Chains A and B, each alone.
Chain A
Amino acid sequence: KNEVEQSPQNLTAQEGEFITINCSYSVGISALHWLQQHPGGGIVSLFMLSSGKKKHGRLIATINIQEKHSSLHITASHPRDSAVYICAVRSTTGGGNKLTFGTGTQLKVEL
C-alpha cells in the first residue's frame, strides 16, 4: 500500500467549476505539501501545511491531522489550472526531511 494516496487520478472539469483533490496518507507527518507539475515537467510548490487551512488566490488547502487527510480546492477553475497536482508528505518516522510523493492527479479544465 502506498504511503500517500490521491484521488481522483484524473479529473476533467468545465471552466468555472469548483474542484477538489484529495490526499490520504498512512504515516505520521510533520508537514504536507501540495505541488503543481506543469506539462513541461517543472514542479512548483503551492502549499506547505502542518495543520488547519491555507489560502492563496483561488487555491485552498486543508489538512485534518487526526484523519490523515488533506484536500486541495480550486475555486472558479480556469484552463490555465490544467496540470498535475501532487501531494507529498514529510514523515516523522526515520528522521530526515525527504518527501514521499503521491502519484498525482491529472486535472484538465475545459472551456
Chain B
Amino acid sequence: EPEVTQTPSHQVTQMGQEVILRCVPISNHLYFYWYRQILGQKVEFLVSFYNNEISEKSEIFDDQFSVERPDGSNFTLKIRSTKLEDSAMYFCASQGRATGELFFGEGSRLTVL
C-alpha cells in the first residue's frame, strides 16, 4: 500500500536553530499538507501546497515557516529560528485530488530546548 514517509521521526534542537522536516508524499499525489499537534492538544492545520505554491496557510504559519518541493518528490517544512512553542508532532499529508482520501505520514516529533 502506498505511504507517506517522514524524516526525521524525532529531532531535538536548541531554541533559535533552523529545522527542516522532510516528507515524501505518495508519488502521483498533487495536494500536500503540513499539520501539527502540540502534546495533549488537537491537530492543527499549518499549510497546504498545490501546483508548486502555497494554496492556504493558517495564522500559525508565520514568516518563520516555509515550505518547498525542491525536487518534485520531497516536500519540506522549514522552521527558520525555532521557539520553545514549536515543540510538537508535525504531520505531512497528501491527496491525489482535492476531494480525495487523505494519507498521513507517521509524523516528526520536534523538541525545542
Contact = CB atoms under 8 A, between A and B. Distances in A.
Interface in A35-56: 35, 40-45, 48
A41 B89 contact: yes
A8 to B, nearest CB: 15
Interface of B, secondary structure class, is: strand
A42 B31 contact: no
Interface string B59-98: 0000000000000000000000000000001010001001
Interface stretch (A19-27, A57-65, A70-78, A97-105): A97-105
Contacts of A99: 35, 43, 45, 102
A33 to B, nearest CB: 7
A98 B59 CA distance: 13
Contact of A97 (B48, B58, B105, B107): B48
A31 B45 CA distance: 16
A107 interface: no
A98 B106 contact: no
A109 to B, nearest CB: 22
Nearest to A42: B106
Contacts of B44: 101
Nearest to B103: A45
A78 to B, nearest CB: 22
A43 B107 contact: yes
B55 interface: yes
A42 B109 CA distance: 11
A48 B101 contact: yes
Given A43-B91, A43-B107, A103-B42, A96 B56 contact: yes
B99 interface: yes
Interface of A: 30-31, 33, 35, 40-45, 48, 86, 88, 95-104
28 contacts: A31-B99, A33-B102, A35-B104, A41-B89, A41-B109, A42-B104, A42-B107, A43-B43, A44-B104, A45-B101, A45-B104, A48-B102, A86-B43, A96-B56, A97-B31, A97-B33, A97-B48, A97-B56, A97-B95, A97-B99, A98-B33, A98-B48, A98-B56, A99-B35, A99-B43, A99-B45, A101-B43, A101-B44
